[in-house]
Amino acid sequence: MANDYLYETHMHTAESSRCGQDSAAKQVRGYKKRGYSGIIVTDHFINGNSTCPDYLPWEEKMNIAIAGYTAAKKEGNKCGLDVFLGWEFSYHGADFLTYGLDLDFLLAHPNIHKKNPEEYSKIVRKNGGYIAQAHPFRSAYYIADPKPYDPKIIDGIEVFNASEPPENNQKTKQYAKKHKLPMQAGSDSHAVGTKFLSGVIMQERAGSIHDIIDAIKGGDVQLVE
């Protein structure tokens, strides 16, 4: 009988996200305690709610941008939780979860945070990355026009975000079905005490983040809603 492997697709740490309330290590231990097999650390990129000062050189910025992942990976190795790198790219309040790339990619693309979603998507995809729009119908003071972006520039969409009201998640799911977009779910957790956690369930353990990407694209995940 196959086992179930639970993965978080959307979470933040205090090291790299200004809105993060708990350290990466504390988050890792919390996910391990709650039965997760792994997490994708998706801290806000430097064009979002990042802890990174603007005046630093690019390499230092990128090290801060992935500091939460780096600390989470170290703790995950200790306690047996798989930890993968991602980030949340922002544009006028719209957020795009980005998976499948690494620090070398970021170092090779200075000022990528200044790109619009269309330009960003082209670069990410060209380099083998994956983009999913997060919580497209979120209503907040910093979002001028909450809406899904052109489905042609994203690889998937977050149809369930544990921090969103049910009606927003439902609208996203309807949009995904209409445009035949791969669906995923995530917690958008900023602290260990998050009451309800989400994610995706796989039948096989992920050996790399690309296994998670492929499972989402193939519809081979169960969404935790």
**The pairing of beta strand 94-99 with beta strand 130-134:** antiparallel
Q: Which domain holds residue 146?
A: 5-224
End-to-end CA distance of the chain: 24
Number of domains in the chain: 1
Binning pLDDT at 50, 70 and 90, where does residue 57 land?
A: very high
Q: Is the pLDDT of residue 45 over 80?
A: yes
Cα three-residue angle 154-197-173, rounded to 5 degrees: 40
Q: Is the pLDDT of residue 59 over 90?
A: yes
**Average pLDDT estimate for 144-160:** 94
Cα three-residue angle 9-45-10, rounded to 5 degrees: 10
Looking up residue 27, the CATH number of its domain turns out to be 3.20.20.140
DSSP structure class, residue 169? H
**pLDDT tens-digit map of 82-135:** 999 999 999 999 999 999 999 999 999 999 999 999 999 999 999 999 999 999
Are the beta carbons of 94 and 140 closer than 8 angstroms? no
Q: What is the pTM of this model?
A: 0.96
- Give the up-direction half-sphere exposure of residue 129: CA atoms within 13 A in the CB hemisphere: 27
